[in-house]
Amino acid sequence: MNTWPFINGAYGASVLFLAVAGWLSLARYRRARRRLAEVEKR
Amino acid sequence: MNEDVLPANRPVRAGGWLHYLANPARFMRVAVPVLPWLSGAALLLCVAGIVWGYQFAPADWQQGNASRIMYVHVPAAWVAMAGYAALAVCSLFSLVWRHPLADIAAEEMGPVGAGFTALCLISGSLWGKPMWGAYWVWDARLTSVLVLFFLYLGHIALIRAFDNRAHGYRAAAILALAGAVNLPIIVYSVQWWNTLHQGNTISITGGSKIYVTMLYPLLISTLGFYLAFIAMVVARICAAICERKTASALLAAAEELA
């Protein structure tokens, strides 16, 4: 049985999850800090 | 009681040191400069662990290349369980000391922990198909991890189920503490029941049943996944604190105008 499609699937899901979850968390953090700085400047 | 024996700067209230450390402003002062380094280290270790496991680690003598799934499946499983343990600890702090930072931390850990648990289940089923001939079996280890995933989802939903956020935090904290009983069940399920899932390969107390050429990439990948979890949670906690400060500032400005 060719196991590579399963290996590629597991690694693909991992890389996709880490990239998307990491990017979303950091994007939310940067957006929240920028918004707070704007409000405090008023 | 003779109060002269107490040092002058000692917190009088029980658990006062916890309140000192868990202050949102102090947390931000520590977390903001640390976050870029934490994220960079997580990225570096995740890339090193994943590339090493996928490309350079040796294939298993019995399972062949399919054993490479271990380098993403096992770290995801460990982080999923450790994340829930941290969630339960935050819930305990929330229920006992009613500290808002514990509530925020628990709220932000939920979705990240659920993601790692889903990743563990997906990679596990992709490992199960070539090895067992099935993507899913109602095995004690698999079922208890599925229960962990549902506990995470329940926690996420319960926090958002009440109009009064404080009620949601309290209900979710009770669920998180009650659900912590599932953690030893996951760990010992392979010993208590006759499972299709293999037994524990790595042990802190006993000797590991894995050779160093496979152990090192696994440990690097695990460290990377742990740091990624911490970096994501810290970033989300900082974002939540900033969002609350923004909302408070906007509310105060609106009240001044009115």
Please indicate, yes or no, if residue B14 is contained in any of the structural domains.
no
C-beta neighbour count of B33 within 10 angstroms: 9
Please indicate, yes or no, if residue B192 is contained in any of the structural domains.
yes
pLDDT at residue B220 above 50? yes
Please indicate, yes or no, if residue B13 is contained in any of the structural domains.
no
Q: What is the DSSP string of B72-90?
A: HHHHHHHHHHHHHHHHHHH
- What part of B 181-210 touches A (C-beta under 8 Å)? none
Please indicate, yes or no, if residue B244 is contained in any of the structural domains.
yes
Predicted TM-score (pTM) of the model is 0.91
Nearest Cα residue in chain B from A29: B239
Q: Is B26 on the interface with A (CB under 8 A)?
A: no
* The token pair that represents A17 in the structure block: 């999850």
What is the total count of domains within chain B?
1
Q: Which of A4, A29, A40 sits opposite B239 (nearest CB)?
A: A29
Give the range of the structural domain holding residue B46, as residue numbers without chain letter.
34-200+210-257
- B155: nearest Cα among B118, B108, B119, B96: B108
Please indicate, yes or no, if residue B2 is contained in any of the structural domains.
no
- Residue B195's pLDDT band, with cuts at 50, 70 and 90, is confident
| Range in B153-162, B202-211, B215-224 the model is least confident about | B202-211
Please indicate, yes or no, if residue B113 is contained in any of the structural domains.
yes
Partners of residue B230 in chain A, C-beta under 8 Å: none
* The token pair that represents B26 in the structure block: 């102090």
Question: Cβ of B253 and A11 within 8 Å?
Answer: no
What is the overall mean pLDDT for chain B? 89
Q: What is the DSSP string of A1-42?
A: ---HHHHHHHHHHHHHHHHHHHHHHHHHHHHHHHHHHHHHH-
CATH number of the CATH domain containing B157: 1.20.120
- The percentage of chain B sitting over the pLDDT mark of 90, rounded to a whole number, equals 71
